[in-house]
């Protein structure tokens, strides 16, 4: 299946900011994308346990405020805020680390809705190595899958492994990683540092060593 990769890459707004949380420095990686659907349908797509596996991952647990969730083969955590159909906040616990994810939805009218996702994480060796693309590319692939699901709700889920290994998938990863490198530079990161981190992120996702890594 062919996809308009440039259109999907261009649909995402990316930014990186430095914050403090509990008195410690953190970085916020922000993605925003609009979809041709209602805000209620978008909320259902990102919170309904029956729909999440169609574009993201199977989920189980107590899917209510204060409950714990677990994504199959990935992160788990606690639902810390839930205000339908506009705001969801969770802890993101994976590999012994804890970070935070916030999702905000906004009605843009005429069956158009906007999703903004913030992934907030501590400054660490992992961040220094890969920069914002470490989570940014992964979430961007998720938002791409969400776009496909909303356009064709009954279609089979995209096989991420097959897509990621394809020329189009690699082009998507390279384009996303480069864009996160630019977002990192815009946030104040040294240009050479940001570009090196972007190359390492691309190599991580594609399995192919990039020049200069």
Read off the pLDDT band of 41 (50, 70, 90).
very high
Query: What is the rounded average pLDDT of the residues 49-64?
Result: 96
Is residue 69 in a domain? yes
Query: What is the rounded average pLDDT of the residues 26-32?
Result: 98
Is residue 146 in a domain? yes
Read off the pLDDT band of 38 (50, 70, 90).
very high
**Whole-number average pLDDT of the chain:** 95
Residue bearing the bigger pLDDT, 213 or 63: 63
Is residue 185 in a domain? no
Is residue 159 in a domain? no
Domain limits for position 126: 12-154
**CATH code of the domain containing 127:** 3.30.530.20
Write out pLDDT tens, residues 122-162: 999 999 999 999 999 999 999 999 999 999 999 999 998 89
Count of domains for the chain: 1
Is residue 93 in a domain? yes
Is residue 212 in a domain? no
Which is nearest to 131 in space by CA: 3, 48, 207, 29? 29
**Cβ atoms within 10 A of the Cβ of 11, count?**
16
pTM attached to this predicted model: 0.94
Is residue 113 in a domain? yes
Write out pLDDT tens, residues 110-121: 899 999 999 999
**Cβ atoms within 10 A of the Cβ of 171, count?**
14
Instruction: Give yes or no for residue 1 having a pLDDT over 80.
Output: no
């Amino acid at each position: 299946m062919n996809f308009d990769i440039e259109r999907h890459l261009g649909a995402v707004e990316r930014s990186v900011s430095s914050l403090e949380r509990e008195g410690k420095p953190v970085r916020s990686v922000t993605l925003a994308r609009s979809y041709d659907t209602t805000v209620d349908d978008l909320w259902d797509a990102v919170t309904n346990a029956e729909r999440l596996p169609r574009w993201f991952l199977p989920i189980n647990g107590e899917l209510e405020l204060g409950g714990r969730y677990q994504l199959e083969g990935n992160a788990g955590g606690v639902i810390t805020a839930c205000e339908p159909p506009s705001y969801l906040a969770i802890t993101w616990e994976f590999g012994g680390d804890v970070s935070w994810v916030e999702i905000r939805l906004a009605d843009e009218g005429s069956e158009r809705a906007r999703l903004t996702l913030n992934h907030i994480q501590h400054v660490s060796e992992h961040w220094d190595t890969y920069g914002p693309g470490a989570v940014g590319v992964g979430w961007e692939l998720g938002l791409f899958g969400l776009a496909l699901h909303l356009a064709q709700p009954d279609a089979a889920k995209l096989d991420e492994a097959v897509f990621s290994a394809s020329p189009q998938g690699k082009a998507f990863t390279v384009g996303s990683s480069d864009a996160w490198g630019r977002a990192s530079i815009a946030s104040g990161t040294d240009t050479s540092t940001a570009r090196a981190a972007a190359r390492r992120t691309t190599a991580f996702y594609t399995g192919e060593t990039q020049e200069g890594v």
